[in-house]
A = this chain, B = another copy of it.
Amino acid sequence: MDTHTSLIVLATKNEHKIVEIKAMLGSIVDCRTLGDYLTITVKEAGRTLLENSLAKAAFTFKTTGQPSLADDSGLFVDALDGEPGVYSSRYGKNDTDRIDKLLKNMATKKNRAAAFRAVFIYYFAPQKYEVFRGECHGEIALEPRGTHGFGYDPIFIPKGYTKTFAELGPDVKNTISHRAKALVKFKTYLKRSA
């Protein structure tokens, strides 16, 4: 039958069930999840924060029929010609690897300037969306510090501070970060169009 395939999407978000079912079926079919589909959508998308954010927002709007908000963000390091940038989340297999790689690449660099950039897309009707951008300048620390946040937070020191995002914690980060700045614009937009 041509209706059958070697790829199956598991209709669950229960991680335990995913592990169990993959253990039993994984040898004969490629088991994906709904969450994988968001990732696949984005991997097939563009090479800019805008294109990735738009792909995620459009997919989510199409799937749910509800206004959707997507963010794509990255850390752009001056001495690395803007790397990891749009590839920030694919720079290594986990946060620790990504931070290690970035610090190694920065080992001989004197210019440690960098910026976090975020591009939010608010997709609210078919083919209709608005873009909100935010940027946070700072520099790359010499070693990871702090336990809050995620991603590159332990090695990013925002301008005007001596501590990393991971040391400063959510109250500060959610006020001055790239995402915070973009979301302030989004909130203003929502109030105006309410």
Contact = CB atoms under 8 A, between A and B. Distances in A.
A179 B60 CA distance: 30
Given A187-B28, A190-B28, A70 B4 contact: no
A35 interface: yes
A47 to B, nearest CB: 19
A21 B179 contact: yes
Interface string A111-139: 00000000000111100100000000000
Copies in the complex: 2
A170 B12 contact: no
Which of A17, A24, A31 has the largest number of chain B CB atoms within 10 A?
A24
A12 B56 contact: yes
A29 interface: yes
Nearest to A53: B11
A60 B63 CA distance: 9
A84 interface: no
25 contacts: A1-B193, A4-B193, A5-B67, A8-B68, A9-B60, A9-B61, A9-B66, A10-B60, A10-B69, A11-B57, A11-B60, A11-B71, A16-B150, A16-B151, A17-B179, A20-B170, A24-B174, A24-B179, A24-B180, A24-B183, A25-B183, A34-B34, A34-B38, A37-B63, A63-B63
